[in-house]
Amino acid sequence: MPPAIECDALTKRYADDAPAAVEDLSFTMPRGATWGLLGGNGAGKTTTIAMLLGLLIPSAGRVTVLGHDMATDRFAALARMNFSSPYVSLPHRLSVRENLTVYGHLYNVPRAARRIEELTERFQMGEFIDRPAGSLSAGQKTRVAIAKALINTPDLLLLDEPTASLDPDTGDWVRGLLETYSAETGAAILLASHNMAEVERLCSHVLMLKQGRVVDSDSPAGLLRKYGRDDMEQVFLDIARDRMAPGRAA
């Protein structure tokens, strides 16, 4: 079975004379894994996700998703993947159910109405499923965005800050849903997050980006060991502030 994602020397420059937003990014993410994409503001996380989705064309390098080359075979991959991003909002006047129905049709989901019922129950959206999407709170919108991301039961889920607007209790519950989804379906998840506790809980491997380049990558436990830290927040700060791990060349 081909891996979930293969990136080979992926680079993106928004303008010829601009510094690369992502530079020489290479990694292979296996099926079924949950990986974290970490980095400070402007490190290149959203740009990477947009290239993985085929929304942005790389300046150089190659992306293969679930065995499909995104340059030549994008639609075959898109049918089997999905994403959520705080930068994409659903049409405000359509109800949540209508929005999900549109996506159900876009993805050719068999028995879409039933799938929407399942997701409504799983994400406890019954109270607002028939309300206009524009009338929801930020946290409710986030739940709808993640439910939308699961509509086609994707084999690969790309999540840009999936729990950023959720209160701690709802955030914890959504993390549990993501764990269950990946355990039940074998789906791979790549998530960009600023929430280090989330990354420690969900991710088996982390790519640390800085100015578009991978500056470290390991399991959360491996990074904690390498930097001699107790939590990922401290590791993040070490990397952001150029405090190198003991034993690594400065």
Ligand X SMILES: Nc1ncnc2c1ncn2[C@@H]1O[C@H](COP(=O)(O)OP(=O)(O)OP(=O)(O)O)[C@@H](O)[C@H]1O
Q: Which residues bind ligand X (CB under 6 A)?
A: 14, 21, 39, 41-47
**Under DSSP, is residue 190 helix (H, G, I), strand (E, B) or coil?**
strand
- CA-based nearest residue to 166, from 207, 191, 138, 144: 138
In the complex, the smallest distance separating the C-beta of residue 240 from ligand X, rounded to whole angstroms, is 12
Q: Looking at beta carbons only, is 53 or 125 nearer to ligand X?
A: 53
* DSSP-derived pairing of the beta strands 68-69 and 34-38: unpaired
Q: How far is the CB of 241 from ligand X (least distance, A)?
A: 16
Residue 232, helix vs strand vs coil: helix
Nearer to ligand X (CB atom), residue 84 or residue 152: 84
User: Do 189 and 34 form a contact (C-beta atoms < 8 A)?
Assistant: yes
Angle between helices 232-240 and 220-227 (to 10 degrees): 60
Of 46 and 101, CB closest to ligand X: 46
Residue 27 CB, shortest distance to ligand X, in Å, is 16
Shortest distance (Å) from residue 7 CB to ligand X: 14
CB of 160 to ligand X, least distance (A): 7
Q: Which two tokens stand for residue 40?
A: 């400070």
- 156 and 149 Cβ atoms separated by less than 8 Å: no
Cα(64)–Cα(74) distance, rounded to whole angstroms? 9
DSSP 250: -
Distance in Å, CB of 45 to ligand X, minimum: 4
Which is closer to ligand X, CB of 51 or CB of 96? 51
Nearer to ligand X, 210 or 229 (CB): 210
| Nearer Cβ to ligand X (41/72) | 41
Distance CA 111, CA 99 (A): 16
